[in-house]
Amino acid sequence: MTTADAIPQIDTDALPMGDSRDQAWRATQVAPLIAIADGYAVTTRRGAEEVLKHPDPFSSAKAFEFLQSPVPLVPIAYDPPTQTRYRQILQPFFSPRVIKPLEAELRRQIIALIDPIARRGHCDFVSEVAQVFPIQAFLTFFGLPLEMRDQFWEWKKAVIGLASAGFGAEGDAAQEGITKALEMYTYFTELIPQRRSERGADILSQILAQQPPNDLTDPEAVGLCFLFTLAGLDTVTDTLSCGMQRLAECPDKRQEIIDDPALIPAAVEELVRLDPPAPFIPRVTTTDAQIESVRLPPETRVSTYLGAVNRDPAVFENPYDIDFHRPENPHISFGLGPHRCLGSHLARLELTIVYDEWHKRIPHYRIKPGTTPKVHWPHGTIELESLHLEFDKGEG
């Protein structure tokens, strides 16, 4: 039995995440289990399997308790069997069969975003593409008007700010957040009964049309809408911004996908491996638990550091290389076990079509001289502040 003192302590906030994500993740790989400010983190594939595949004792419900969410965060903040039921209800609507038909419309939308940028010759990829497209995809998925994009941007910013501080936070900023969150809450609570009575072709209408025992209550449906804005927007923004930065910095890798667009799905997997959409997965133990022969008491926070797990040398050859030809890439950027990311199929589609349509129109680009893409850090997510790109103006 290892004693707790023997576990290396890592100051996550002090990691060089802002300038070099690779260096930062490398600094966490000092041991399979590391001690962090509010508990522990696993950094290997084996540890990740131990934690993420065993909701008992590694609970999600407990991990999300601190949010004090006023709406039930379906299904992320639940453990089996409640979570299993939610998954069974929701999974068919997030499956490839349902997502694939959105492709044509989403391609049309991303082309409409990229074309004016191609004509202009420069852009901030983060604010002009990576932040807006996931919101449009969400609106399209739920059959909401695209004109609501900027409104949702404002709402989700407030809700995420509130969620990172905890919904019970106090102060002026929290008050402002609560006001915006309430607006979004009101919007969804009015939308849901409306969609129940006038069913559209959108996915939300279909989810709401489910018959007992597969029906969601109004609060559960509002919770699902909230969760989508919390878990489905910034995650794609972040991984897409970081992936695009890597492509901008590695012209040889970029050339590979320009020469062979059929490589894009593999490139998506590789870029997502290096920059996971949600890199820190929280769990809290319900009972005594053990990882790597360390005994953890109940109520211990155990995070899974996906960026480290995806660079586990026991699983990946040359884990720090960008390689679009890996014969094996079993990364777990979309999680593992019962909480595997519900939106992974939509996320993969979004990423694939952005990289595809962008490189068709803007194959050669560079980071604007004098600007340096930086991750906002310390933070609960890995978010690029901006990514200024320059390129020759296209005909469009």
Partner 1 sequence: MKLNIDGDACTGHGLCYSLAPQFFEDDEQGYGHVIGDGVVPNNQLAEARTAVANCPEKAISFVDDLNLSLALNEETTS
Interface residue list for partner 1 (CB under 8 A)? 88, 91-92, 94-97, 265, 327-332, 334, 336-338, 340, 344-345
**Pick 219 or 265: Cβ nearer partner 1:** 265
**Pick 44 or 131: Cβ nearer partner 1:** 44
CB of 352 to partner 1, least distance (A): 11
Angle between helices 344-361 and 103-120 (to 10 degrees): 40
**Pick 17 or 231: Cβ nearer partner 1:** 231
CB of 98 to partner 1, least distance (A): 9
What is the rounded (10 degree) CA torsion for 144, 148, 151, 155?
10
CB of 42 to partner 1, least distance (A): 16
**Pick 188 or 316: Cβ nearer partner 1:** 316
- Which of 109-112's residues contact partners 24+ apart within 8 Å by CB, and which partners? 109/133, 109/136, 109/137, 109/140, 109/146, 110/353, 110/354, 110/357, 110/358, 111/357, 111/361
Residue 338: burial class (beta carbons within 10 Å; 0-12, 13-18, 19+): middle
CB of 180 to partner 1, least distance (A): 33
**Is residue 51 a contact partner of residue 336, using CB atoms and an 8 Å limit?**
no
**Pick 94 or 141: Cβ nearer partner 1:** 94
**Pick 97 or 199: Cβ nearer partner 1:** 97
What is the chain's alpha carbon radius of gyration, rounded to the nearest angstrom? 21
CB of 49 to partner 1, least distance (A): 9
**Pick 88 or 175: Cβ nearer partner 1:** 88
**Is residue 347 a contact partner of residue 334, using CB atoms and an 8 Å limit?**
yes
Q: Give the angle 181-185-186 at the CA atoms, nearest 5°.
A: 120
CB of 79 to partner 1, least distance (A): 15
CB of 91 to partner 1, least distance (A): 5
**Is residue 25 a contact partner of residue 35, using CB atoms and an 8 Å limit?**
no
370-to-21, 273, 393 alpha-carbon distances in Å: 20, 29, 20
**Pick 87 or 180: Cβ nearer partner 1:** 87
The closest of 365, 385, 382 to 374, measured between CA atoms, is: 385
CB of 358 to partner 1, least distance (A): 21
Q: How many CB atoms lie within 10 A of CB 367?
A: 17
**Is residue 134 a contact partner of residue 237, using CB atoms and an 8 Å limit?**
yes
**Is residue 75 a contact partner of residue 342, using CB atoms and an 8 Å limit?**
yes
**Pick 97 or 120: Cβ nearer partner 1:** 97
CB of 92 to partner 1, least distance (A): 5
Measured distance CA(163)–CA(67) in Å, rounded: 6
